[in-house]
Chain A
Amino acid sequence: AQSVTQLDSQVPVFEEAPVELRCNYSSSVSVYLFWYVQYPNQGLQLLLKYLSGSTLVKGINGFEAEFNKSQTSFHLRKPSVHISDTAEYFCAVYDNQGGKLIFGQGTELSVKP
């Protein structure tokens, strides 16, 4: 079965600094990967997704992620964060056999002024 590991439960960072949120997935023949953001007391919003093609994926709000097959990673990055980026971020992989998303534990990004 597929699995996802988000290596950092909390990432504090100062405003305008770069940030990387790490995500590793269990190996599979084909893999579809997603990053979602959740603001307090809200549902999840899709940031970006990798289905195939270019390994560098650009998403909304200035975020991007790189699919690295050899390291089975899909790290999320942003060159300069804003206070408004403070939220919970979830990495997910699509489980072909089960037809469902497998979520990581989440990373709380806290941007301080």
Chain B
Amino acid sequence: GAVVSQHPSWVICKSGTSVKIECRSLDFQATTMFWYRQFPKQSLMLMATSNEGSKATYEQGVEKDKFLINHASLTLSTLTVTSAHPEDSSFYICSASGGVGEQFFGPGTRLTVL
């Protein structure tokens, strides 16, 4: 149980285009989902907390107009990187809240912007 999927697993796009990443909880309902960004050899950096049916809460320094988050259902949250640039290239990981403090993580999405 408690499986979280992400799609796509990797994506390459041209600078200036937008990319959407999906995060799904496959066998449970997730009221809260989280989006992280991870640079090579570094820890996870929380970008935003997404609650179903409401606006996401962004961490300080994260541009909400750049990283659009939508949590339209209890099993799906999406992250759209708008007008992507090479500096947005990174490993993006989502997670879903499950129990006290625990989070179930997706496999991650490798974004490369050319």
Contact = CB atoms under 8 A, between A and B. Distances in A.
Contact residue range for chain A? 20 to 34
B107 A101 contact: no
A78 to B, nearest CB: 21
B64 interface: no
Given A41-B108, A43-B106, A101 B101 contact: yes
A34 B104 CA distance: 12
A34 B108 contact: no
A90 interface: yes
Q: Which of B42, B44, B93, B100 has the most CB of A within 10 A?
A: B44
Contacts of B67: none
Interface in B16-74: 32, 34, 41-44, 46, 49
Contacts of A94: 100-101
A44 B104 CA distance: 8
A67 interface: no
Interface of B: 4, 6, 32, 34, 41-44, 46, 49, 91, 93, 95, 100-108, 110
13 contacts: A32-B101, A34-B101, A41-B110, A43-B6, A43-B107, A44-B93, A94-B100, A100-B34, A101-B34, A101-B46, A101-B101, A101-B103, A106-B42
Interface of A: 32, 34, 36, 41-46, 49, 51, 90, 94, 99-101, 103-106, 108
7 A-B pairs with least C-beta separation: A94-B101, A43-B105, A32-B101, A44-B105, A43-B107, A43-B108, A103-B43
